Amino acid sequence: MVNTPLSPINVIDGASVRGHNGLYVLGCYDDRITFYSQQVRAIALIHALAEQEHLRNNPRIAVVGGGAAGTAAAAAAALACNGEVVIFEAASDLLKLQMGTDRRKLDPHLYNWPQSNSDDPVADLPILGWDAGASTEVRSEVVRQFEEICGRAENLVQKKTP
C-alpha cells in the first residue's frame, strides 16, 4: 500500500496521542476548523481504524464530546463495528454550538474559494450529510440523521455527563 498523507496509517498516526494506545484526538488546537472539516476528520479516522482492523474485535469505544467531530465519529463507529459506542456530552443536546441562531451560516466548502467547487452547497459525506444554510437548520438535519443511525445501530449509546 502506498503511504500517502491521507493513508489510513497516517490518519491514525495524526490523531493518536503518544503514550496512550487507542486514544485519538481530532481537531484540538487546530486553526480553520469548520463543522464540515470536523466531520470529515472523524469519518476518515473511523474508516482508517476499520481498514487497519482496529475495530475487528468489536471494541468498546468512548467518544468524548457531542460536537461535529464527536457526533460523526460515534455514528461512523456504530456503523463500522458491533462494539459498544458511547458518546459522552456534558450539554443537554448534541451540537450545542449550532443551536439558537439563524444568523450563523454553515457552508461545507467555505475555504475552497476561489476553486470551482467553492460554491457547492452540499456536504457530500457518506453519513450525516447536509446542505449549506443556517446553523440551526444544519444542526437539525445532522441530529435527525444521527438519531436515525441510533435507531438502526443498537450499539450506540448517548450519555450526558454532569
CB-based contacts of 36, cutoff 8 Å, min separation 6: 68, 106, 107, 108, 109, 110, 123, 125
Which residue, among 101, 97, 98, 76, has the nearest Cα to 87 in the 3D structure?
76
Residue 100, pLDDT score: 82
117, three cell numbers: 467547487
Local confidence band at 115 (pLDDT 50, 70, 90 cut-offs): confident
Q: Which H/E stretch holds residue 64? A: strand 61-64
Question: Tell me, what amino acid is at 8?
Answer: P
pLDDT surpasses 60 at 1: no
Q: Determine the pLDDT at residue 30.
A: 66
Within a domain: 106: yes
Amino acid in position 109: H
- The count of domains in the chain is 1
Report the mean per-residue pLDDT for the chain.
89
In a domain, 2, yes or no: no
pLDDT tens digits, residue range 130-158? 999 999 999 999 999 999 999 999 999 88
**What residue type is assigned to position 48 of the chain?**
A
Residue 62 within any structural domain of the chain:
yes
pLDDT digits (tens, 9 = 90+) for 65-109: 999 999 999 999 999 999 999 999 999 999 998 998 788 999 998
Is the confidence at residue 10, as pLDDT, over 90? no
Residue 134 lies in a domain: yes
- For residue 73, is it within any domain? yes
Task: Give the separation between CA 41 and CA 12, rounded to whole angstroms.
Answer: 10
Total number of residues shown for the chain: 162
Of 162 and 19, more confident: 19
Domain that holds residue 140: 8-160
